[in-house]
Amino acid sequence: MTAGTNVCLLATSVLELCKAPVTSGGFVHFIEFGGTFVNGTMQINAKGHLTIGGCDVVELAQQYGTPLYVFDEEAVRQRAEDYKQALGSLPKSQIIYAGKAFLTVGMAALVKQLGLGLDVVSGGELYTALEADFPPEDILFHGNNKSISELQYALDAGVGRIVVDSFYELQVLSQLAESKGVVVSILLRLTPGVEAHTHSYIQTGQLDSKFGLAIGNGAAMEAVREAQGLPNIQLMGVHCHIGSQIFDTEAFDATVLLMMDFMAAAAQEGHYLSELDLGGGLGIRHTDDDDPMDVTSFGRFLAQRLQEAAQERGLPLPKLLIEPGRSLVGEAGTTLYTVGVIKDLPGIRTYASVDGGMTDNPRVSLYQAVYEGLVANKMEEEPAHTYTVAGKCCESGDKLLFDVCLPQLESGDILAVPSTGAYNYSMSSNYNQLPRPAVVCVYDGTSEIMVEREQYQDLVRLHKIPQRWR
């Protein structure tokens, strides 16, 4: 037993709580061993198994194999509806899904069905969207270093907005638009100088950033002047994004005021901007210790603050655009693993290794992200031991969960890790030549494949042997 086992013993007192669902905002939540939460439509069935979207998770693992990404459609639909209702007081607004969080052809089709816009950041993401017949006029194209070919692709596709990140891009885009005889609508990406309280790797609004044009040094206003003078450029407004996994409104409050101050200053020079895109960044729960603001309250806060700021500055109310990614799909995703080797190091720790790892969830290694786990086939068993869950990659740092309190694990158990819907599939890799997992969508007791599991032949499909080596 490790020192952490004492935590497990304390956690047994909350066992009964996990058996009673608590309904909140259309979702069922459980308090699980040691305070671990579960998300979305998760419940426990008569077998003592975890279910998502009415599907037995253990049966999903048997049918589709592991590792497996499970996507809870109802959770996404509910979050989208929450955002729509939260911004309902504004005469003009648009919710634009940040596709970088999780984008497949199927996901693009769902976003279209939900009536949301789509934010893409590469030619590949744009291609994925268009393969789903996503309306190009509802697409925003982001990126700090778009290639000329990507800009040409965006113009040919007729995307609704291109978010311009630099003076260089502004000039290139103007020349391309002129050569094609089109007028392109743009937003200028600005850096307002707000540092959100989050991991330094996912802060983007501070002055020292690779993104955008700084307000503080005058670059942003100069870009407005330059854009207004280009005949093939139609400047619609300004954009910012201050970071990700933000739990409170303090940074957003400061950002609204700074951006509206900028728009007022631009208006004084005769440059009237009609759209304000505040990006995304609202955090989600990865563990029970996380306490993000709920979507409805967040949206209503932004709407109210924007109305107040516009009135205080004597400005017309701009159209508000927001770009939720993680907060739309993060808690809708759960990753399933099969437990393999269990290795006890007396007095140190017990490792439980699974058949995935940093290849399907690199966020732990990149950002020190913290998750919790559920044993899907033992949901009603008492916590018995503290484990560190390790992946199968040849890296000492390939760990998924640290010192988690779980029922006694055995080889073959199914481990479920909630809140893995954002940036897990998107950032997955083939390190160690591991095939990427399948993605399955669950809804109302049914399951369907969104992405097929890669096979070994997929790993070498594009490989070539130079002739001189044959």
Contact 119, 98 (CB under 8 A): yes
Q: Which residues are known to be catalytic? A: 394
Of 308, 324, 340, the one marking the end of a domain is 324
Domain boundary among 293, 324, 355: 324
Interior angle at CA 402, CA 400 and CA 407, nearest 5: 95
Q: What's the confidence (pLDDT) of residue 6?
A: 43
In angstroms, the Cα distances linking 439 to 1, 41, 342, 378 are 36, 17, 27, 23
238 is a domain residue = yes
User: Is 82 in the same domain as 161?
Assistant: yes
If asked whether residues 42 and 105 sit together in one domain, one would say no
Please give the DSSP secondary-structure letter assigned to residue 31. Answer: B
Statement to judge: residues 46 and 81 lie in one domain: no
- Per the CB < 8 A criterion, the answer to whether 78 and 294 are in contact is no
Q: What are phi and psi of 336, to 5 degrees?
A: -105, 140
Whether residue 150 sits in one domain with residue 95: yes
469 within domain boundaries: no
In a domain, 467, yes or no: no
- Structure confidence at residue 22 (pLDDT): 33
Note the maximum CA span of the chain: 74
pLDDT, position 40: 83
Give the per-residue pLDDT at 251: 87
φ, ψ of residue 141 in degrees (nearest 5): -110, 110
Domain range for 433 is 5-65+332-458
| Kind plus residue range of the DSSP H or E element containing 199 | none
Question: How distant, in Å, are the alpha carbons of 60, 205, 433 from that of 429?
Answer: 23, 28, 9
In-domain check, residue 466: no
Kind and range of the H or E run holding 247: none
Long-range contacts of 169-176 (CB under 8 A, 24+ apart): 170/223, 170/226, 170/227, 170/230, 170/233, 172/148, 173/233, 174/230, 174/232, 174/233, 176/148, 176/151, 176/152
Same domain? For 246 and 110 the reply is yes
Residues 295 and 245 in one domain: yes
Measured CA to CA, the distance from residue 164 to residue 161 in angstroms comes to 9
Query: Same structural domain for residues 307 and 340?
Result: no
Are 93 and 206 within one domain?
Answer: yes
The span from the CA of 326 to the CA of 421, in Å, is 8
Residues 173, 90 share a domain: yes
Residue 349 has a CB neighbour count (10 Å cut-off) of: 16
* Predicted pLDDT at 292: 86
Is there a single domain that holds both residue 241 and residue 120?
yes
The tally of domains found in the chain comes to 2
User: Rounded CA gap, 190 and 223, in Å?
Assistant: 10
Claim to verify: residue 339 and residue 451 sit in the same structural domain? yes
Closest CA to 404 of 1, 4, 3, 2: 4
Domain end marker among 324, 342, 366: 324
For residue 297, what are the CA distances in angstroms to 66, 69, 155, 242? 37, 29, 37, 19
25 in any annotated domain: yes
Q: For each of the chain's 470 residues, which pLDDT tens digit applies?
A: 343 444 464 444 333 333 333 333 333 334 343 344 557 899 999 999 999 999 999 999 999 999 999 999 999 999 999 999 999 999 999 999 999 999 999 999 999 999 999 999 999 999 999 999 999 999 999 999 999 999 999 999 999 999 999 999 999 999 999 999 999 999 999 999 886 554 343 344 456 678 889 998 999 999 999 999 999 999 999 999 998 889 888 889 999 999 999 999 999 999 999 999 999 999 999 888 888 888 999 999 999 999 999 999 999 999 999 999 999 999 999 999 999 999 999 999 999 999 999 999 999 998 889 999 999 999 999 999 999 999 999 999 999 999 999 999 999 999 999 999 999 999 999 999 999 999 999 999 999 999 999 999 999 999 999 999 99
Which residue, 53, 72, 26, 48, is CA-closest to 334?
72
At 38 the pLDDT is 58
188 and 89 in one domain?
yes
Structure confidence at residue 201 (pLDDT): 36
pTM of the model: 0.91
Identify the CATH number of the domain in which residue 98 sits: 3.20.20.10
Vertex 313: Cα angle to 307 and 316 (nearest 5): 55
Phi-psi category of residue 466: left, alpha or beta, with phi > 0 → left and psi -120 to 50 → alpha: beta
Which tokens sit at 282? 């609202």
